[in-house]
A and B are shown apart, each in its own frame.
Chain A
Amino acid sequence: MTTLGLDPEELGRCVQCGLCLPSCPTFRVTGDESQSPRGRIALMRAVEHEGAPLSAPVRRSFETCVQCRGCETACPSGVPFGHLMARTREVIVQSGLSTSRPVRAGYAALGRPRLVRAAVRAAALGQRLHAVPASAGLPPLPLRQAPLRRTGSDAHLFTGCVMDACQRDVHRDTVRVLAAAGFGVEPTGDRVPCCGALHAHAGLGRAARKLAAGAVRALGDGLPVLVNSAGCGAAMKEYGRLLGSDAARELAGRVFDVSEWLAPRMANLPEVRPLDLRVAVQDPCHLRHVQRVHAATRAVLAPFVRELLELDDDGLCCGAGGSYAFFERREARAIRARKLASIARSAPDVVASANPGCSMHLAAAGVPAVHPMTLVARALGAQGGARGAQGAQGRLGS
């Protein structure tokens, strides 16, 4: 019999009120209690307290969770659902009930930046040769990317694994915006190959902790760590809980989403003519529901675009969920369909998304998704005659 080893107090906090249901993307698309936070907690309790087996339907209920944590901001009782689910996934993996060897190998590769870059380059080449079918759901990938250079030592810029391989142009735009505000940064590059967020979500706890520990060692100099990927930022802010060490908590305390860090420093940026664009803000779940700093995205973007639009879905997940869009394709697309409908209703020129997973997932469905930093860089650059934003996420209509 398997037990999940969940904190009984945390598991007991749910009072089954059901207010989380509409905030759960999988419940939204299925209407099925077993695909809801309340249902998943009930199943965790059944396994933990009543000895229910981790049967295939029960595991399925856990595996279809996007781990968006939209239920946490909806929960008046403060159930720490994300931690319960991460722990549950870890037990499932440890029990040998999930995650095939090729999948594990894929996750292991994330800690090896050269491998990731090579894989992305191969996929990009495949796209150019029309050897990668559109049904693969990949956005256009960059064939080559120039290296990022250090511009100063005010802060670290966390560059990450997949994002650095697929969207280095966003890092470049971020560096440019920070420079315009008078800050120089040190890109973390291969010093910190990966934050471990995807591993933690997949239940590969040991790998996640190893990567996190590496990041804590590499970034021990006390400088702020700026992150422009909402998923990575959320994971790094939770290193304290993940590793339980003082050093981890200390690092977590100086991790900032780049917009969160810039918002109180906006006076440093020059006044320029805003881009003539109507921009819908898509809040990445881990920015809105975990970091809860999504207001900063708006504060940073507002002066640089003609109009900011709010989507009407109360921050419901887009279905990207890190690797979710890759492994749970059917669910991810059903969830995305709701987001696409919401985007269509607000009829923006572009959609700003501060997370690479979301923007790639949306871009694969033809949404002009751009990182907020790309938009700000472009507004600043248009004034100074600098090169406009380009690359996978920079496909702006001109």
Chain B
Amino acid sequence: MRGRPVSADPLVAALCAVLGRDRVRDDAAERALLAHDASVFAGGAAGPVCFPTSTEEVRAVVRIAASHGSAVVPRGAGTGLAGGAIPLGRPVVVVTTKMNRILEVDRDDRIAWVEPGVVNLDLTKHLRPLGFHFAPDPSSQQACTIGGNVANNSGGPHCLAYGVTSQHVLALDVVLPDGEVVRLGGLDAEPPGYDLRGAFIGGEGTLGIATRIAVRITKNPPAVRTLLLAFDSIEEAATVVGRVVAAGIVPAAMEVMDRGITVAVENFVHAGYPVDAGAVLLVEVDGPEAGTALDAERIAEIGRAGGATSVRTAAGEEERALLWRGRKTAFGAVAQIAPSYYLHDTVVPRAALPQVLRAVYEIAERHGLMVVNVFHAGDGNLHPLLLFDPREPGTLARVHAAGREIVEVSLAAGGVLSGEHGVGVEKRDYMPLQFSDVDLDHQNRLRRAFDPACRANPGKVLPSGHSCADIQSLERLPAGVWA
């Protein structure tokens, strides 16, 4: 063992006594590392960083933190985009990545029990030989964890047809903020009692830490067809999306990318994305062979009628995988354009897509910012990326202002604040734009029912005045969240 003396800090010493020195980190540099997730938000330095490997260990860590008056922040792979896993006020950080076992796969009941640190795509790969997959497929699925998916009720391109994480989680074992362990939900179709499972999913670590998760596994479709349509303008692409759904087709996924992001993506994956198109629409249909063939044909027709300049069908699995790789690495690829980005996540009614998109470009232009759009068009989930160089003085203020306007435009169009990335610190102060004081007060009552002492991921999700944040008096928080 690489020797560190057991810490003089009684909290660290107590944690080491349970986890061993190797699985508790207290070095300043390592704690500072966890100040970030994949977003532009930075927290303060973390407190001690713990790597538990079992429900019992999580429970012990939570209890020790409680007895020392410390908050607890759970963290998976740190691919979140709303700052949900960043530490505020030196909390104990519980990293779940070592809890990465797939415990049980039951093909008959189509259930898999997993630990929270299992990587989303690893589960799907594990299920592949059995003919199943885990349906929620966030763009970060190669890296993000199932625990993080539960915390954020994550979506992904294929949630258009298959639904978001909540529809794919049956039961959870949860370590509550006071250290009690409960099972929420159940494997039966209709478990009795209140649906606390539903309440917990999307809780962003403010209601406890899931340590075992029963997920629904989905049979792989017999046939898949992927089409790539090119358009002169993003409005045309967005209009076609609405028409496809209006025609009664429910594609597995419908994704739009504008020219800026398509060029960056193509430069990385070389999948043959048309770099001269104003926008591209990636559509996938799956199901029985005959049905997908028919749907694909009709989508191509609707696309051409709506102004598609080209329609290409992926020739095989390799081409299909390459096209999707492009779509799913889009956020990372923007670094080719600018050193940093701020990714937004709002949802608007499909019919409002063209109008809201126009407004987004206009807002960005007014603030002197570059914006690219890549989004889950099928369910109206927008992801405008504001691109900027953080070294330029004053840029962040403009990014912040433009971001707020994008949220306001989305809400005015009948949309919602957050699609799938969660609220975290990012949208926390926007919550009153969508919810009334009464709404927020009741959300906070739910939160306190789980976490009366306000120790679970404080300062996230609910705005101060409506949350534990005031009790913890994290007054430096609003000023400090920007990177």
Contacts and interface: CB of A to CB of B under 8 A. Distances in A.
Interface stretch (A12-20, A99-107, A150-158, A259-267): A12-20
B471 interface: no
Given A17-B332, A18-B79, A19-B332, A76 B268 contact: yes
Q: Which of A17, A22, A42, A55 is the most central at the interface, judged by chain B CB atoms within 10 Å of its CB?
A: A17
Q: Sorted from nearest, which 3 A-B pairs have the closest CB atoms?
A: A31-B97, A77-B335, A76-B332
B143 A21 contact: yes
A165 B355 CA distance: 69
B336 interface: yes
A329 to B, nearest CB: 14
A277 interface: no
A13 B27 contact: no
B33 A34 contact: yes
Contact of B33 (A14, A30, A33, A55): A33
B119 interface: yes
Contacts of A76: 265, 268, 329-333, 335
B142 interface: yes
A293 to B, nearest CB: 15
A33 B77 CA distance: 8
A43 B125 CA distance: 32
Contact of A57 (B30, B79, B121): B30
A31 B334 contact: no
Contacts of B119: 22
Contacts of A34: 25, 29-30, 33
A75 interface: yes
Interface string B60-77: 000000000000000001
A334 interface: no
A78 B268 contact: yes
B341 interface: yes
Contacts of B331: 15, 17, 76
B51 A78 contact: no
Given A22-B143, A312-B125, A16 B36 contact: yes
A15 B98 contact: no
B372 interface: no
Given A20-B143, A32-B97, A55-B27, 20 more contacts: A14-B335, A15-B38, A16-B38, A18-B37, A18-B79, A18-B144, A21-B79, A32-B51, A32-B95, A33-B95, A34-B33, A43-B29, A55-B29, A57-B27, A58-B29, A76-B330, A76-B333, A76-B335, A77-B336, A79-B335
A34 B27 CA distance: 11
A60 interface: yes
Interface in A236-269: none
A18 B143 contact: yes
20 contacts: A13-B335, A15-B335, A15-B341, A18-B144, A21-B77, A21-B79, A22-B119, A22-B142, A22-B143, A31-B51, A31-B117, A32-B95, A34-B29, A39-B33, A46-B32, A57-B27, A76-B330, A76-B332, A79-B335, A312-B125
Interface in A16-50: 16-22, 30-34, 38-39, 42-43, 46
Q: Which of A34, A75, A79 is the most central at the interface, judged by chain B CB atoms within 10 Å of its CB?
A: A34
A19 B125 contact: no
A275 interface: no
B2 interface: yes
A52 interface: yes
B98 A31 contact: yes
Contacts of A21: 77, 79, 143
Contacts of B125: 312
Contacts of B2: 60
Contacts of A77: 332-336
B16 to A, nearest CB: 15
Q: Would you call the interface of chain B mostly helix, strand, loop, or mixed? A: mixed
Interface band, chain B: 35 or more
A33 B117 contact: no
Contacts of B332: 15, 17, 19, 75-77
B156 interface: no
Nearest to A60: B2
Interface residues of A, number: 34
B333 A22 contact: no
B218 to A, nearest CB: 20
Interface of A: 12-22, 30-34, 38-39, 42-43, 46, 52, 55, 57-58, 60-61, 74-79, 312
Contacts of A46: 29, 32
A65 to B, nearest CB: 15
B77 A43 contact: no
A256 B376 CA distance: 43
B100 interface: yes
Q: Which of B36, B265, B335, B336 is the most central at the interface, judged by chain A CB atoms within 10 Å of its CB?
A: B335
B315 to A, nearest CB: 18
B395 interface: no
A298 B461 CA distance: 51
A20 B78 CA distance: 12
A33 B51 CA distance: 11
A78 B329 CA distance: 12
Interface string B113-141: 00001010110010000000000000010
A17 B79 contact: yes
B121 A18 contact: no
A333 B97 CA distance: 20
A76 B329 CA distance: 6
B214 interface: no
A115 B332 CA distance: 47
Contacts of B265: 76
A43 B30 CA distance: 8
A42 B33 contact: yes
Nearest to B39: A16
A17 B36 CA distance: 10
A234 B336 CA distance: 25
Contacts of A58: 29
B421 to A, nearest CB: 13
B34 interface: yes
B7 to A, nearest CB: 14
A31 B97 CA distance: 5
A12 to B, nearest CB: 5
B27 to A, nearest CB: 4
Given A31-B117, A33-B78, A77-B332, A19 B140 contact: yes
Contacts of B329: 19, 76
B339 interface: yes
Contacts of A16: 36-38
A78 B336 contact: yes
B313 interface: no
B385 to A, nearest CB: 10
A15 B143 contact: no
A395 B121 CA distance: 36
B340 interface: yes
Q: Which of A14, A30, A75, A76 is the most central at the interface, judged by chain B CB atoms within 10 Å of its CB?
A: A76
